[in-house]
Amino acid sequence: MAISEIRAPLPGVFYRKPSPEEPSYKEVGDTVAKGDVIGLIEVMKTFTQVKSEVDGTIVEFQADTDDPVMAGQVLATVEG
């Protein structure tokens, strides 16, 4: 099976949850389909959804909630 990477589309702060009291969009081991939201990136109070571009299973998150990220940084890996 092929390993794919989901990368940050822009620099900012990564969030795995839509809000602090809600569960994460996805967890390790969850299946993901093309277009599924796996997190948000916040830049100056503007939130951009991070979506999967592949189908598969999330095998690792390389960024967690409140982590600063750079454009192109790997956020998660997907096997599919």
For the chain, the structural domain boundaries read 3-79
- The reply to whether the predicted model has a pTM over 0.75 is yes
For residues 21 and 6, what is the distance between their CA atoms, to the nearest angstrom?
24
User: In which band, very low, low, confident or very high, does the pLDDT at 1 lie, cut at 50, 70 and 90?
Assistant: confident
CATH fold of the domain at 3-79: OB fold (Dihydrolipoamide Acetyltransferase, E2P) (2.40.50)
User: In which band, very low, low, confident or very high, does the pLDDT at 56 lie, cut at 50, 70 and 90?
Assistant: very high
For residues 32 and 24, what is the distance between their CA atoms, to the nearest angstrom?
13
Q: Is 12 helix (H, G, I), strand (E, B) or coil?
A: strand
User: In which band, very low, low, confident or very high, does the pLDDT at 49 lie, cut at 50, 70 and 90?
Assistant: very high
Report the mean per-residue pLDDT for the chain.
Answer: 96
Q: Tokens 């967890």, residue?
A: 27
